[in-house]
Structure 1
């Protein structure tokens, strides 16, 4: 499953060099993940004392984005572990088709009660496995 959203670069996204500040890309990526989860069936899987905790973000910046650019954030699942999921995200400039940034984001399934990572519930694991197969 691939989810996409578009974000228009605004003045408040820019740094003193007049291109998108690196920290803003993390916000763009997060917005993309929330949209993905909305389309994936909401975040009902966050109930029952379970939370999803980001434990790693690896981002590569490839090209600058500037005021007025429209960026497409693409998000999909790529890897499923026993206690974790990894998502691949790319940010594309829709006008130039340049790859602006790409990131791998890893979450762990976290028990709020135990305060520890736990194995993914079986029903969620099956749903994610199907989403990975569809996007391959």
Structure 2
């Protein structure tokens, strides 16, 4: 069964969040948490929190065992940009400094075997 958790409007660039999200996709959840706890990237703290939330959703809402969970999909999509202030540019123009936001989604499942690259289904 697939269980998901998401965080919307995280104040972080989607490009920077995708570096971390791409690294955990297809890994076992325990292995992904170990990776995120040791990663120096700022996005790893946010993604680890979302992954822990997905595991808690599986345990509390669906009564699933979280030991064999695998990160099936993990995405970092672009959220709304917040225009904050202006920066002077050439010839009297003004450039807008935008603050980027990200929607991060993590889906875990216990029906799939972990692999190094991607994932594959268990035989039925």
Name the TM-score class by shorter chain.
0.3 to 0.5
Q: Highest relative contact order (Cα 8 Å, sep 6+), 1 or 2?
A: 2
- Scaled by the length of structure 1, what TM-score is found? 0.33
- Scaled by the length of structure 2, what TM-score is found? 0.35
Could you say which structure has the higher helix fraction? 2
Could you say which structure has the higher strand fraction? 1
Q: Which has the larger radius of gyration?
A: 2
